[in-house]
Each structure stands twice: as C-alpha cells, then as structure tokens.
Amino acid sequence: MTEEKNQKEEKKESEVKKAVKGLVYGMAMHGMVTYALKTRMHLENLFMLITMGDMLGVPILPPYYSLRLLPYSVPHVKTWKRTLLRERDVTDTIF
C-alpha cells in the first residue's frame, strides 16, 4: 500500500517539476527559441534558393553541383517550395 502511495507522490512531484519547467521555458525561453528557429528557417530558405533555385526558375548554382546537395535537401524541398510560392498578405507581417 505504501509503495503505491510513494509512486503516486513521485508521479505528482515529476508533474509539478514538468509544469515549472514548462512555465519557465514559456516565460523566458520560448521567444528566443522561436526567434532562433525563425531565423534558421529564413537562412534555410535562402540556402535552398541558392542551391536548388533552378527548381523554381532561379538558376544560380549549376545543376551538376546542385545534385550533389540534393540528397540533403530532400526533406526541405516541399516546405521550401510552399513557403516561397504561397500567397502573401498583411497578416504575414504580424506572424
């Protein structure tokens, strides 16, 4: 019986810890992380444009060398194309 109780208490404690961690993260870190990730996304998009630009008609790097980099970029191609080709409006500046 006591063991069960102990386990329950431990679980509670870890949940409290998690909540505190989440709170601190949300208050202090989240903004920074989002900013870093956003900057990274922009740089990633720029990188994709330079290397794979000819997919969308912007030829910069000769395709012979783009192909060498292609395997690494495969997971990004879809999102990159979507980001670059999607319609934009005023709300873009807010988010």
Is residue 53 involved in binding other proteins (CB under 8 A)? no
Closest CA to 50 of 73, 33, 29: 73
| Cα separation, 40 vs 47, whole angstroms | 10
Q: Cβ closer to other proteins: 16 or 77? A: 77
Stretch that binds other proteins, among 6-14, 70-78, 86-94 (CB under 8 A): 70-78
Q: Are 9 and 18 in contact (CB under 8 A)?
A: no
Give residues in contact with other proteins (CB under 8 A): 25, 29, 32-33, 36-37, 39-40, 43-44, 46-47, 50-52, 54-55, 60-72, 74-75, 77-78
